[in-house]
Chain A
Amino acid sequence: MKLTEFIRPELCWVLDSAESRDDLLKQLTSRIGEAEPTVDADLIYAALIEREEKGSTSTPEGVAFPHAMIQQAERSFVAAAIVKRGVKFGHKAHPASDVIFVLVGPKEAAWDHVRLLARLARICHTPGALKAMRQAADGDGLHRCLVAEDNRHV
């Protein structure tokens, strides 16, 4: 599943910092609400928090994949952010996450959700990919990097 079909420059950002996981998710969902007017930012925020409370979506590599399936979403999409001073996502053994992917999709497209998560996992696991993402200067640069990494995979 190509990531490029689900991500666009308006949904990629490079941020300086956030006070906490919840603050970061608040910032990101607010930005998502601006870029995707058909979805309710508060609803996505609540769904992301609910998911994180079940278990952190962070990884040992400093990546987090907060995700939510909500009735209101018309289609699946991904938002990506680099947070220069990362934030802890709740898993004690994991470092602060500075590469964040937010996945949102309709409840009836659960399989798309799984495939997108798998795609992102593959991209992040590619040698050198995370380093390239972390060097992005802005959202456009991050988007270009993700497209390039996406194109490296079957």
Chain B
Amino acid sequence: MSDAPTFKLMVIIIDQPDLVDELVTGFLDIGVRGATIIESHGMGQIVRKEMPIFAGLASLFPENTGSRMVMSVMPEELCERVTELVDEIGSQFGQPNTAICFTLPVETFRGIRH
């Protein structure tokens, strides 16, 4: 049985890009040292803007100006704190459903050195 820490991939998708600063500040505070942040588009945005056949039903899909996807591999014990952080940011600054987050198991993890 290995004593190596278990890592998870934490994925957070935020519908309000300006809240990324709050998230990154929170990451630093609670000890997350790195993350990858990608500009992303929700399906609703694509349907609204690029699929005119659905134009009449656009109101079914949330309107936003883009989103950010934040990915970070972290020890399992940090995941719960990050989830609490996302809840806190959502309740303090966001609208309902401002963000979603989920974790995935990481089978292997290593930094590559050249």
Contacts and interface: CB of A to CB of B under 8 A. Distances in A.
A118 B29 contact: yes
A115 B28 contact: yes
Nearest to B83: A154
- Main DSSP-derived SS at the A contact region: helix
Nearest 8 A-B pairs (CB), nearest first? Answer: A118-B28, A118-B29, A154-B84, A119-B29, A118-B25, A154-B85, A121-B25, A154-B88
B68 to A, nearest CB: 18
B63 interface: no
Interface residues of A, number: 14
A135 interface: no
B38 interface: no
B81 interface: yes
B99 to A, nearest CB: 14
Interface of B: 22, 25-31, 33, 81, 84-85, 88, 92
Interface in A71-128: 111, 114-115, 117-119, 121-122, 125-127
A127 to B, nearest CB: 7
Interface in A1-17: 1
Q: Which of B27, B29, B30 has the most A CB atoms < 10 Å from its CB? A: B29
B28 to A, nearest CB: 4
Interface string A125-137: 1110000000000
A114 B28 contact: yes
B74 to A, nearest CB: 15
A154 B26 contact: yes
Contacts of A119: 29
B81 A122 contact: no
Q: Which of A111, A118, A119 has the most B CB atoms < 10 Å from its CB? A: A118
A1 B92 contact: no
Nearest to B88: A154
Contact of B30 (A1, A125, A127): A1
Contacts of B92: 126-127
